[in-house]
Structures are given as C-alpha cells and as structure tokens.
Amino acid sequence: MLHVLIGEDDYSVRQALEEIKQGVGDETARLTNTTVFDGKTVTPEQLRGACGAMPFLGEKRLVIVEGLLERFDPGGRTGRKKPPNRNDSSDEYRMIFEAVKDLPPFTELVVIGGKMKPNNPLLRELSNLSRVRNFKSLNRSQLEQWVEKRTGEAGGSISPQAVRTLLRFVGSDLWSMANEVDKLVLFAGGRRIEEGDIKAIVSSAREESVFALVDAVLEFRTGTAQSMLQQLYMQGLSPVHILVMLSRQVRLILQMKDMRAQGESRSEIQSKLGLTSDFVLRKAWEQADGYSPARVRELYHRLLETDISIKTGRMDGEIALSILVADLGQRGGVSA
C-alpha cells in the first residue's frame, strides 16, 4: 500500500508515520523489514528492488522515502546530488512512478514531503494511486483544540485562559507544544493547569521576563530593571542562569540586526537562529527595531565582563548583576 504524507505540520506527519509503523508488526519485525531512502538520490531501480523484496520473518515490509517529492517540485532548489545512473530527462518522475505503481500486498511504501506545490508532477501521479494526506499548519481554533486534546491524552486538564497563554508563548510548533504540555501535566500533578503554571514552567514565559529586563536596561529604567531582577530570583533562577538567558537574548538581537541588514527574510532568520517559539522571534524582532547597535553591543560586552567576574570569584553573582544594571541605567555613555 502507498502512503503519501506531506505538509508544513511535521509533528502530525511523524505521528502518522508512527501509526503506519505500528501496522507493520512488532519492533523486531520492523527492524529487519524497514528500508529508508534519501529521496534526493534514490533511483527507480533501488525503489523497485526494496518494494519487491519479500519480508524476512514477518508479514510486511516498510519502505520510507523522504525528500523525493521535493526533487520534482517546480521551481524548488534541493541542492541534491546526482544519483548513480540518473536519467536527466523530464520524464524521470515517470520512471519513479512506474517503479512504485504496482506494489506487492506485503509492502507499505511511505513517501514523506513538506509543503508541496499542487503542480508537482510526481505528487500528481501518486495521488492517482493513493489518498494524499496533507498536514497543514493549524489555525488558532485548531491549535486550542489540539492543546486540550493533547492535555487530556497526557492525563491532565487545562483552563481556557491557560490554553491561550500557552499559545502566546509557544506558537504553532507542535513539537515544542507537546513537550510543554507534558511538563505542565507533571507539574500540575492531577489538578487543572492554570495560567500561573504556564508562567512558572514554560520556557518562553520565563524568557518574557528576561526580554522585559533587557528592555528596562536598554531604556535606562534602572528601578524597573532592579525590580525585575528580584522577581527572577524569586522564581528560583540563579544569577548565573539569568546571566546566560540575558546574554542569549542580547545575542539574538545582534544576530537579527545583522541578518536583517543582509536582506534575509523573517522565515530565513527564524530557521537559521533555530527559533521554534513564535513569541521569542517576535520579541527579538521588535527589540532589533527598537535599539541602536551601539547600545545593544554595549550591553552584550558588559554581560560578558560580568560573567567573567562571577566565574572567577571576583564578585558575588547577585551583587555583580545589580552593579551591571545600575551602571547601564546611567545616561551619558552610549545613547539608545
């Protein structure tokens, strides 16, 4: 049987793949009867051979191909290597199609791809053989339903306000969302998850406080910055942890400034910086707009100096951070 799994929602694609794997047999049977190909280089002969091979000590064979559809996506740039004996004609996708169109009953072939153009020639041909499952990014309402369902499956419950707060911090990345939901269910210990739990546990929620601290420092609001520093201590963060988070946020701002100056798009920046949280991306983007490179670099260098002072034992961590905030809050140096 042929399975075609595509779409931007990689989490749901992988979940669908796991369901297919469970239907192949137990773990031992899958181990000896699973073949995985890189779609950028696989040849029709390799696919035909793998799909036609009889299962060994099992009833089914599983063949997984990733990146094959991208190879034929109109206008796509895959940077693929040329596979052995590759036919460079425009009919190459037809050779792939011929290799997989008559699958034996014992073979489960799974073709996995990302967001595809509707005029992808191989996708069009494969859709005549099997229903294409397209996992699109979820909208706001669907995300809320997904969080509630996932929380229930993990053995917990969550308030509507907590769901909205969780979405604000995590965004639409279901891999990160699933991880945060699992942590929250454990933290709640059987009671309903509330908004306060999100702010206490979710990593992006803590980063909100750090972003606010960066804003206060860069805007010379010393009193506010000192107050936020104390709040972070009360949340259980150590001076070294706070310093690491501050340095990371300021470094993000500097990197974003440089990448935007080079004309890179928002999605390219998000990918290169490895930002899975829409909230963190949005805040760093706003701060890159709001402050001069000189002011941000001044803060970054002072954070490095403070880190050295703490690690070498020249200063106590809390004292060092308080002095840093007080010094940077004085106007007269580098202006914003």
The percentage of the chain sitting over the pLDDT mark of 90, rounded to a whole number, equals 27
Q: Which residue pairs from 332-335 have beta carbons closer than 8 angstroms and sit at least 24 positions apart in sequence?
A: 333/298, 334/292, 334/294, 334/295, 334/298, 335/292, 335/294, 335/295
**What CA–CA distance (Å, rounded) separates 325 from 223?**
9
- Domains in the chain, start-ordered, CATH in brackets? 2-134 (3.40.50.300), 140-201 (1.10.8.60), 203-328 (1.20.272.10)
User: How far apart (Å, rounded) are the C-alpha atoms in residues 213 and 232?
Assistant: 10
Q: Please give the C-alpha separations between residue 192 and each of 44, 65, 195, 201, in angstroms, as whole numbers.
A: 53, 42, 10, 14
Q: What pLDDT, in 10s, does the model give residues 204-242?
A: 666 777 778 888 888 888 888 888 888 788 777 788 888
Q: Output the pTM of the full model.
A: 0.62
- The sign of the CA dihedral 39, 42, 48, 50 is negative
Work out the mean pLDDT of the chain and round it to a whole number: 84
Residue 51 and residue 63 in contact, taking contact as beta carbons nearer than 8 Å: yes
Average pLDDT of span 287-305: 86
For the record, the structure tokens of 192 come out as 């309903």
Confidence (pLDDT) at 65: 94
What pLDDT was estimated at residue 50?
92
State residue 80's pLDDT score: 46
Confidence of residue 155 (pLDDT cuts 50, 70, 90): very high
